[in-house]
A and B are shown apart, each in its own frame.
Chain A
Amino acid sequence: MSKLSQRHLLGIKNLTRQDIELIFETADNFKEVINRPIKKVPSLRDVTIANIFFENSTRTRLSFELAEKRLSADVINFSTSNSSVKKGETLLDTVNNILAMKVDMVVMRHASVGAPHFLAKHIKANIVNAGDGTHEHPTQALLDAFSIREKLGGVEGKKIAIIGDILHSRVALSNIFALKKLGAEVMVCGPPTLIPKFISSLGVKVEWEVQKALEWCDVANVLRIQRERQQIKYFPSLREYSLYYGITKKTLDDLKKEIVLMHPGPINRGVELTSDAADSQHSIILDQVENGVAVRMAVLYLLAGAN
């Protein structure tokens, strides 16, 4: 089959393993395309895509926009800071107005959990979730797993530790779903206050000591402390967090084996990762960014192509 089981990409939770593998195989081909002298293909030339960002984003929005342009789609961008949302327009009204301009696909980021799922029930266009609150960020998880597959030759049986603010992270949840579906072993690691209570019911190991997590894993995916989502204090200070959970190049070099270091960005240098660790040979952070464009091209191509 060369068709996804879904017409929207709302989360990894409702994808099948076959879906994820199809996205990866398609992304392999797009990765070759974006390394050509002419990096553009005409597949989506009759498709219009609206990027609707109700929350800040640099990488994801640029990556989606580039993926859309490499596929020759027409692109319109919308962010709340300069829109009528400030005047009190509802989400559905905003999106319906955009769709009235004959838009075929919507890429949306929203601070509320379930916003893209709500939209999917009310509008016809294909929806790609670019992050909904603390819930899911499916394309990030896909590009993370794709990068692991590229670096280690596969995901099945690999040990992946997700380290940091698991409680507020949509990247963590989507990563857990994706990696489990692909047959990896997953561990989450962070201060007890930043680990959700029933996370082990998703079939992941829980570890509070970062050193043990690093010794266990093949890949460490380090997350940012999301201070914008923290209304109360979960740990005494950033300095203390970085003392106990920060990863340095020395920690990595002192391990008995080679591990791969990942980070979805933006990095708080000196908090979860020191600069020398982020820029070390262990890190595949910039490969993740490159793969992000190829993976998003694959998602858009597969969703747009299935009528």
Chain B
Amino acid sequence: MQKKIVLDSQLLDITLNRLCQQLIEAHHDFSETVILGLQPRGIFLAELIHAKLKTLVKKQIPLGYLDATFHRDDFRRRDVPAKASETRIPFAIENKNVVLIDDVLFTGRTVRAALDAMIAFGRPAKVELLVLVDRTSTRDLPISADYVGKHVDTLESQKILVELVAQGHKQNKIWLINKD
């Protein structure tokens, strides 16, 4: 198994700062904006970005967790049903600007399911997608991200591994892995 670093701790920090600045540019004081982290792995990134934004705009921004397991299109097409995680959206999303956050954008199927799941909570004014890694040329659906940490050209057989301190790893590191 070959591993290659895509983003190390220092670069990740710079990338996250840039993403925050881009969000501020588009959402100003975040008065009409809420953040939803996608379960299971997007929530760690959402929390990192949320914490950074809080110090930058000096304001409470609503942060929720969205799980799309029950809306997936591969139910009964895999051997084992996907395990669900908690959905927690303790605020209204009706007429708000929603920023969905996930770690890696691959086929786009999770994001499709997430859009479907999100609509159960109301009709947002606008929905945007932020991802840390955008895997180019692997999309199954016409979905693209509005804010991208890094574009990475990958093969379908390769894998992106996101290791964050918040997930129990020693250092923040993003890897590209060749599966043999």
Q: Which residues of A contact B (CB under 8 A)?
A: 1-3, 25-26, 28-29, 32-33, 36-38, 40-44, 46-47, 71, 301-302, 304-307
Contacts and interface: CB of A to CB of B under 8 A. Distances in A.
A33 B79 contact: no
30 contacts: A1-B80, A2-B80, A3-B79, A3-B81, A25-B83, A25-B84, A29-B67, A29-B69, A29-B84, A29-B86, A29-B87, A32-B86, A32-B87, A32-B88, A36-B120, A37-B121, A38-B120, A38-B121, A41-B70, A41-B120, A43-B70, A43-B71, A47-B76, A304-B75, A304-B81, A305-B75, A305-B76, A305-B80, A307-B76, A307-B77
Nearest to B39: A29
Contacts of B14: none
A168 B58 CA distance: 64
Size range of the interface on B?
Answer: 20 to 34
Contacts of B78: 307
B13 interface: no
Contact of B120 (A1, A37, A304, A305): A37
A2 B81 contact: yes
- Give the one of A3, A29, A33, A46 with max B CB within 10 A: A29
Sort A-B residue pairs by CB-CB distance and give the 6 closest, nearest first: A305-B81, A41-B70, A2-B83, A38-B120, A29-B84, A3-B80
B120 A26 contact: no
A193 to B, nearest CB: 45
Contact of B84 (A26, A46, A71): A26
- Give the one of B70, B72, B85, B122 with max A CB within 10 A: B70
B89 to A, nearest CB: 9
Interface in B47-78: 67, 69-72, 75-78
B82 interface: yes
B116 interface: yes
A20 B149 CA distance: 41
Interface of B: 67, 69-72, 75-88, 116-117, 119-122
Nearest to B77: A307
A37 B120 CA distance: 7
A42 B116 contact: yes
Contacts of B122: 37
Contacts of B84: 25-26, 29
Nearest to A3: B80
Given A25-B84, A29-B87, A46-B76, 20 more contacts: A3-B79, A3-B80, A3-B81, A33-B70, A33-B87, A36-B120, A36-B121, A41-B71, A42-B70, A42-B71, A43-B72, A43-B75, A44-B75, A302-B81, A304-B76, A304-B81, A305-B76, A305-B82, A306-B79, A306-B80
A47 B121 CA distance: 25
Contacts of B86: 28-29, 32
Contacts of A71: 70
Contacts of B117: 41
Contacts of B77: 307
B67 to A, nearest CB: 7
